[in-house]
Chains A and B, each alone.
Chain A
Amino acid sequence: MPTVTLKFKDNIIGEYKIEKGGNLTIGRREDNQVVVENLAVSGHHAKIDSVGDGYLLTDLQSKNGSFVNEQLVSSHWLKHADVITIGKHTLVFAYEQGETQTGETMGEMDQTMVMDTQQYRAMLNQSVSNLGAQAPEKEPLGVLSFLAGGEGEVELSKKLFKIGKKASSDILVSGLMLGQTAATISKRPNGYYLSYAGGMTKPKVNGESVKDTVKLEEFDVIELGSIKMQFFLKK
């Protein structure tokens, strides 16, 4: 079990052990495990987490920053004898004699790891709490509104939306030159894309013929055979 020794100038103020799977919070407030009474230290300044085989120091958006071996860090995998500076205090991280030191092989930590869900949520909450309430924006839903050839609105609720003459199409169109599936709209991570799928007539977006694929922007007008629709994003 590694220890963290808190010092001020050359005086040892305290020694704290970090258990595997545990953590150590550092700051001026009394609810920290390591309380550092100094105005240069933020209320919740930093923390050290035991993650997998290593120990990770994370700065909690402190005013004056956290330093490891005099370098400013936002997060850092600790090695034996690393000196952490917080305000005017120092904390020396040290493995016990004979203990396996994973700090040296921290390169291996670049290997993809999977976060234990609870640990992940806890770490995320701590890191993000300073930024205030975060409401994840709901993904906007694409909607097609009929301008001609139909009534009302159609929600683009499918990943691949089909427009064509085939009975199973999501929007039916009529026209001699149109394909069974004339065009498709795909919902991708980047947004909605309209593609020409088949048939003699190509779809038009804002009057321009679509040879293969075009990304849809809000208010784009799509024309195909008997229908004319406008693309919207509903939040």
Chain B
Amino acid sequence: MIVVESGAITDVGAKRKANEDTFYLDDEMGLYVVADGMGGHQAGEVASQLVVEALTDYMKRFGKGEEVEELADSDEALSKEANRLLSGIKLANKAVHAVSKSKEAYRGMGSTVSAVSLTDDTLIAANVGDSPIYLVHGDSIELLSVPHTIMAEQDALSPQGAKSLGKAFEHMLTQAMGIEETVRPDLSEIQCFKGDIVVISSDGLSDKVSPKEILEVVQEERPAKACRELVDMANHRGGDDNITVIVLKVKAVEREPAGFWSVISRTMGKLLASK
């Protein structure tokens, strides 16, 4: 069982008229989601809300402790829980795509999605788009999500080519929820430890605040205060976009349930230690 302290804020920013970001936080379910919507005339708001609703509805159906049936097209490289999150995201994509075709005003609307799901002792991070998911472990901060932007993909192919593309491509996504019938989310599963901190945000934060600065703030402050500080930093530096941040601090990870052998080994351990 993973025990966390969490906080979250969403802010319209200093320049935009509407907030097209949506977030979801549920400590009981261990599910945290940020979605950054895009599309004319506030269709972005519709898209991001739809992504969060569809995904969380799906995840709620698999309550804690229930046996989960094998999902139809599960990926062998992933655990059951990871497959579940992946399916949830794919389904949410279909939902947004369907709605986007229903009205002229919704045409071309889309959203990013970055989600973190906690299991008994692991953390699953999945994303489509460029909203970052960071893991702070000890004194380092690592990007768990894979940015689906032209810049990043070009950089992976050839760093030289990425430089020649120019600034305009920094925000262009190669994948988003709702744009095509299918999506290929990127996913990571990792062991969770006490003291680990996870930060999920929309690019309204990561564009203005560096990973090193995020590291410093979340190490210093408790989640709720850290969120406030990060949003303020982004707004002070222009606040050009909507800003959303979720911060989770892992307070405890209860590892193995007590069993016969573990009692014996604990006793033996004490005996050996006292010699």
Name A's B-contacting residues (CB within 8 A).
Answer: 51, 56, 58, 61, 73-77, 107, 109-115, 117, 120, 124, 127-128, 130-131, 134, 136, 157-160, 176-177, 179-181, 184, 186-190, 193, 195-200, 212-213
Q: Judge whether B116 is part of the interface by a CB distance below 8 angstroms.
A: no
Q: Judge whether B219 is part of the interface by a CB distance below 8 angstroms.
A: no
Q: Judge whether B193 is part of the interface by a CB distance below 8 angstroms.
A: yes
Given contacts A112-B203, A180-B256, A184-B122, whether A189 and B143 have CB atoms under 8 Å apart is: yes
Q: How would residues 171 to 209 of chain B score, 1 for a CB under 8 Å from any chain A CB and 0 otherwise?
A: 111111001100000111111010000000001000000
- A190: chain B residues at CB < 8 Å are 142-143
Segment with Cβ contacts to A, from B3-11, B58-66, B261-269: B261-269
Report the separation of the CA atoms of residues A179 and B188 in the bound assembly, to the nearest whole angstrom.
23
Number of interface residues of B (CB under 8 A): 63
Chain B's closest residue to A113 (CB) is: B172
Chain B's closest residue to A177 (CB) is: B265
- Contact present for A200 and B156 (CB under 8 Å): no
- Contact present for A198 and B256 (CB under 8 Å): yes
- A117: chain B residues at CB < 8 Å are 180
List 9 A-B pairs, Cβ < 8 Å: A74-B166, A75-B167, A117-B180, A128-B158, A131-B158, A157-B76, A176-B268, A187-B188, A212-B137
Q: Judge whether B1 is part of the interface by a CB distance below 8 angstroms.
A: no
Q: Choose among B129, B138, B156, B255 the residue that contacts A198 (Cβ–Cβ < 8 A).
A: B255
Q: How would residues 27 to 40 of chain B score, 1 for a CB under 8 Å from any chain A CB and 0 otherwise?
A: 00000000010100
- B156: chain A residues at CB < 8 Å are 136
- Contact present for A176 and B150 (CB under 8 Å): no
Chain A's closest residue to B130 (CB) is: A112
Report the separation of the CA atoms of residues A177 and B143 in the bound assembly, to the nearest whole angstrom.
34
Name B's A-contacting residues (CB within 8 A).
Answer: 15, 36, 38, 76-79, 82, 108, 110, 112, 121-122, 129-130, 137-138, 142-146, 150, 154, 156-158, 160-161, 164-169, 171-176, 179-180, 186-191, 193, 203, 240-241, 255-256, 259, 261-262, 264-266, 268-269
Given contacts A111-B241, A128-B154, A188-B190, whether A179 and B82 have CB atoms under 8 Å apart is: no
Q: Choose among B82, B176, B193 the residue that contacts A195 (Cβ–Cβ < 8 A).
A: B193
- Contact present for B189 and A186 (CB under 8 Å): yes
Q: Choose among A111, A130, A136, A188 the residue that contacts B142 (Cβ–Cβ < 8 A).
A: A188
- Contact present for A75 and B122 (CB under 8 Å): no
Chain A's closest residue to B170 (CB) is: A110
